[in-house]
Chain A
Amino acid sequence: MHGRVKLKSTAQQEEEKRKEREKKLKIYVAARDAIFTKRMEGVLDDEALQLTQQLLSSNPDFATLWNYRREILLHLETVREEDDVQKMYEAELLFLESCLKVNPKSYGSWHHRGWVSARLPRPDWARELGLCDRCLSLDDRNFHCWDYRRMVVKMSGVPVDQELQFTDRLIGSNFSNYSSWHYRSTLLPLLHPESPDPPSPCHQPSHSSPPPSPQTHSHRVCEEQLLKEYELVQNAFFTDPNDQSAWFYYRWLLGRAEREEMISCVFVSREEERVAVAFSRPVNASSSGLMLVLDGQPQRVEWRSVHPHFRHSPVWICALPPGTISDIINEHNLTVHWTEKHTHRDCALYTGRSESWCRDSATDQELFRSELSVEKTSVLQSELQSCNQLLELEPQNKWCLLTIVLLMRALDPLGYERETLSHFQTLKEVDSMRSAYYGDLCSKFMIENTILKMEYAEVRVFSLSDKNLTMLCHLDQLLLVTHINLSCNQLLRLPPQFAMLQCLEVLEADDNAIENLDGLYYLPKLQEVSLKNNQISKLSDLQLLTSCPKLTCLDLRGNPVTQIANIQSELTELLPSVTDLLI
């Protein structure tokens, strides 16, 4: 089905081809029908083996034939001595080898070989490994072969070290070795695992649990090994700057450390009599064992996520029983327990204070940094230098540009902000197909920088105006923000996640392209909204604003919706409490 070129041919050639195919078809159908007949009759003999062999040699994807062969082999196992069974399966392996020569990418052939290897009285795993070596030397991207190799390695206990050396050889000699780098990513954590998590009393050790995957447990590589990897991959892309595999692998190495699972913020408000909780990742409150304790008493509360779209959310809210914290004379101590993760956070609400919160700062949480310890950042510094030198030789190399940006993020996100913006501009030019990606990634980094700056200033006013933002993210970090300015960007919507801004009082989002306000959902403190010069076009786009009880000021000038007939009266009817309406 793949890679069959359409060739033009004469009428005579067409006729010859047709006759040839008709002949082949007849032979094929005869063999197939003979096989099906035998099978239906329950016959399990050598002739069936021969017939299926005939068809499978050229059509190894005909899965039912492999099934039939297995039935025959299983039957023969019961009527033959062990030595004969060994010979029988070895012959099968020989047959499979010839099949694989013809088509090295048939799921059926590889699965059958695995099945045979498992049934051999005396398997020869060294031979199987040799087969893999040969097959990979012909095509080192054949994932069937790599998967088979992984099975052989597991069954025969080949040391991880040896397999790492195997990848060393492949990487050293070949271009297009993504498969080798990928294999390395799975081997490294096995070689130098960090100390495992302390066994938790709540978890049964599950023997059939799959091992942690390299994506979710990238921190499980000890630093010494990590530095060796940096060197190895750096050599690869300096030798060949267009070897994209190495750049992908490098990005993994630079990736953020896995964040500690914790409650990052608790916010309590007397006026709304509610508690908002932000987690380090999306959770489902009902299955996480979320518990609220007020002044030593567990409270029966219902947790809801900030938006019905999200069953899993980083921010959850609950209402306290009326009157429990409303009197400003009383001091209260609140604890939120995340029982599933054996962690909790306290929050004290003092006399005379109408609200309170407790959080770790973004810098304390190491939110946006790489996993390398501070001591080793000199390594990254020299890598940045080398990449900059490479960039001088290859100014259009998008891999190099992007990697420089990632290195700068790892080293000093705020210090390198100007260069980062400049590189993103270049990236959009040299790799224009992916300019939307670069726009979003740059937006993410600018939001991160603003969060970091806000940490140092410790205010609850957040300005993102005029930053070329194409999207919003990290909104879970903005739970405490009271004023936000998103004006003069390229936003198309305020997404549902925007509802995580539970403390928001003033929203400025003028001069964007916003057509959707899904995120303005039950924001209890929101008073002023300015959306001048956007793309709000229907009255229904504004429906959700009715869920914000304190909204009094709304500026919709410069939106298509203002051109609708009777819009003034329609809006007054929809939003009666908005006394300051500008259209």
Chain B
Amino acid sequence: GTQVKDVVIKSDAPSALLLDKHADYIAAYGSKKDDYEYTLSEYLRMSGIYWGLTVMDLMGQLTRMNQQEISDFIKSCQHDCGGVSASIGHDPHVLYTLSAVQILSLYDNVNVLDVDKVVEYVRGLQQEDGSFAGDKWGEIDTRFSFCAVATLALLGRLDAINMDKAVEFVLSCMNFDGGFGCRPGSESHAGQIYCCTGFLSIAGQLHQVNADLLGWWLCERQLPSGGLNGRPEKLPDVCYSWWVLASLKIIGRIHWIDKSKLRSFILACQDEETGGFADRPGDMVDPFHTLFGVAGLSLLGEGQIKDVNPVLCMPEDVLERLGLHPDLLSYSTPLVPAAIVFNRSSSSMS
């Protein structure tokens, strides 16, 4: 027989939630600007800031971050075309455009950017077949479909794109197992599934998902260690506690996961010494895995952490303030409020 790829959690692995240590880790993270890893990850800095700020907000520690510095930074990253880059001197991309809008939404200050230009940039990325390129160089990926509609949803401008065509493209990426890949024909992957179910939620088209089939595929991501992998025969990774769990929440099947075993796995990924979460127990921590570990715990109902919205990966209270209630499929959890969706643009409601 074949062995199941998995990790073994050591008996001395962390089992208590160390929120204060994580807050200290994130608060200190950007300050060591001469750090090698930090510099090498400059190409994703805007997303890095989003990860750090969001996890701090979820822990109620957002005030420890430097809002002015960050706002100035974002402003200097918007290009003439309207798109936003990861850092100064880098090229604009829809990934970092979304991160920037998410950050500014946390601060309720999207007007740091020229919003109309952002909308124009996103609109210009949509292709004839409904797909979205990441930037002017034309890479197509359902991740970018999600980034596009999430950006527009936060700005109340979903009317800017051809939603029907966008939906058609995403649905063309649905696979035999109910999952989604990068492009039509691509293998199902939990990250892509998160993007596509998130997309369909924003588009009001979740009924097109085969929730029972996809939910089964997703709950089969849980390994004996309790952790989740991203697709069959892969090792568990704490970031899949987000991609898989949020997807399950969106399609109303989060109860198909063994919550206590997952919680134990996530906690075991903490580093008691440095704070932060790693992809798996014993590895090096980073802000990316820290956010998704904390966000995953929030979805599991962790009392000390603010409620996180599974579609946008932002605190629910921020979305409440913006009036955003993306659809979720209901199941045995209490009813989500009626299909208001987005109240900023009347044409986004059917």
Contact = CB atoms under 8 A, between A and B. Distances in A.
A182 B85 CA distance: 35
A555 B91 CA distance: 66
A178 B231 contact: yes
A141 B233 contact: yes
B339 A308 contact: yes
Contacts of B289: 1
Contacts of A284: 350
Interface string A540-573: 0000000000000000000000000000000000
A179 B41 CA distance: 30
Interface in B144-194: 168-169, 171-178, 181-189
B187 A182 contact: yes
Contacts of B173: 213
A309 interface: yes
A132 B339 CA distance: 46
B43 A309 contact: no
Contacts of B282: 5-6
Contact of B176 (A182, A432, A470): A182
A529 to B, nearest CB: 19
Interface in A28-49: 28-29, 36, 39-40
Contacts of A496: 330, 335
Contacts of A282: 207
Interface string B41-52: 011100000000
A492 B1 CA distance: 40
Contacts of B141: 107
A324 B37 CA distance: 76
A383 interface: no
Counting chain A CB atoms within 10 Å of each CB, the highest count among B169, B172, B234, B271 belongs to: B172
B174 A215 contact: yes
A248 B284 contact: no
Nearest to A492: B332
Given A36-B89, A59-B40, A516-B334, A245 B216 contact: no
Contacts of A2: 237, 279
Interface in A255-311: 255, 282, 284, 286-287, 308-311
A63 interface: yes
B341 to A, nearest CB: 9
A61 B176 contact: no
A21 B43 CA distance: 19
B249 interface: no
Contacts of B85: 64
A3 interface: yes
Interface residues of B, number: 86
A177 B350 CA distance: 43
A182 B182 CA distance: 14
B307 interface: no
A179 B278 contact: no
A249 interface: yes
Contact of B283 (A4, A178, A248): A4
Interface residues of A, number: 84
A22 B336 CA distance: 52
B261 A243 contact: no
Interface stretch (A83-91, A142-150, A360-368): A142-150
A208 interface: yes
Contacts of A309: 330, 335-336, 338-339
A465 interface: no
A200 interface: no
Interface stretch (A371-379, A434-442, A455-463): A434-442
B187 A179 contact: yes
A214 interface: yes
A560 B253 CA distance: 27
B187 A210 contact: no
Nearest to B255: A436
A216 B207 CA distance: 13
A214 B176 contact: yes
A490 B288 CA distance: 39
Counting chain B CB atoms within 10 Å of each CB, the highest count among A22, A28, A433 belongs to: A433
B336 to A, nearest CB: 8
A434 B36 contact: no
B303 to A, nearest CB: 20
B168 A210 contact: yes
Contacts of B339: 308-311
A64 B90 contact: yes
Contact of B279 (A1, A39, A40, A436): A1
A370 interface: no
A350 interface: no
12 contacts: A1-B289, A59-B40, A67-B91, A111-B139, A150-B185, A175-B2, A175-B233, A214-B176, A244-B233, A434-B222, A434-B256, A492-B332
Interface of A: 1-6, 21-22, 24-25, 28-29, 36, 39-40, 59, 61-64, 66-67, 70, 107, 111, 115, 141, 143, 146-147, 150, 175-176, 178-179, 182-183, 185-186, 208-216, 218, 240-245, 248-249, 252, 255, 282, 284, 286-287, 308-312, 432-434, 436-437, 440-441, 444, 470-471, 492-493, 495-496, 516, 518
Pairs A-B, 9 closest by C-beta atoms? A210-B172, A185-B176, A433-B258, A176-B233, A21-B36, A4-B284, A437-B256, A215-B174, A252-B176
Interface of B: 1-2, 4, 34-36, 39-40, 42-44, 85, 89-91, 93, 128-130, 135, 137-139, 141, 168-169, 171-178, 181-189, 204-205, 207, 210, 212-213, 215-217, 219-220, 222, 226, 231-234, 237, 253, 255-258, 261, 271, 278-279, 282-286, 288-289, 330-332, 334-336, 338-339, 350
Given A5-B284, A210-B172, 6 more contacts: A25-B35, A143-B187, A150-B186, A215-B174, A432-B258, A437-B253
